Amino acid sequence: MDNPLIRYLLRLRAITEEDQAIIINAFEKKSFKEGKYLLPSNRISRQLFFISKGILRIVIRNDKGVEVTHYFLKEDQFCTILNSFKNEVVAEESIQAACDAEVLVISKTRLMELYRQLPYLQVLIDQIIQQGLLDKIRIRNTYLGQDAATRYQLFLTRQPEIAQRVSLGDIASYLGITPQSLSRIRKNTRH
């Protein structure tokens, strides 16, 4: 069974072939073109995504109504708007494909059924999500207090696989700088 989710989970613990089949059957494969929303804002997040290929971005509208990239997620990561998913509240954020992406999707209802069938899976996925949140905070904190050029250089060294695959506009919004400033920074770093 060559399934990216199973491959990932098997790195963390042994799973019987029978359980692997149950997990595979619970998820649905979907593809999204760059720019398509997996979850528009002002909706309740009722799905959990596992990224097989591509990069997703968490987007929020600022007080001027401009979409700002809050975070990028890449292959072998789970993605949802956690507060909305867990508490069934409307999410301010949206999830968008930052480049063409393939994901494995499971509804919250189906995930709860899967957890009842395979209780160890809930502990495992909760640990993965918690570690993802800690990584997100650690990465975001590295940019705090840095000037724009330093933030960009840190981004290139800490998240190079994302830097090469998403638009410069998305990178600029993630780093909190204008696209024009990012162009200048990139031009100056090539010399």
Cα gap 41→185, rounded to integer Å: 32
Q: How confident is the model at residue 1 (pLDDT cuts 50, 70, 90)?
A: low
Q: How confident is the model at residue 189 (pLDDT cuts 50, 70, 90)?
A: confident
pLDDT at 9: 96
Segment 144-172, tens digit of pLDDT: 899 999 999 999 999 999 999 999 999 99
* Model pTM score: 0.93
Cα gap 72→74, rounded to integer Å: 7
The string of DSSP codes covering 67-130 is EEEEEEE-TT-EE--HHHHHH--EES-EEEESSSEEEEEEEHHHHHHHHHH-HHHHHHHHHHHH
Cα gap 80→128, rounded to integer Å: 13
Helix (H, G, I), strand (E, B) or coil at 56: strand
Strand 28-32 relative to strand 101-107, pairing: antiparallel
Segment 109-130, tens digit of pLDDT: 999 999 999 999 999 999 999 9
98 pairs with which residues across the strands?
A: none
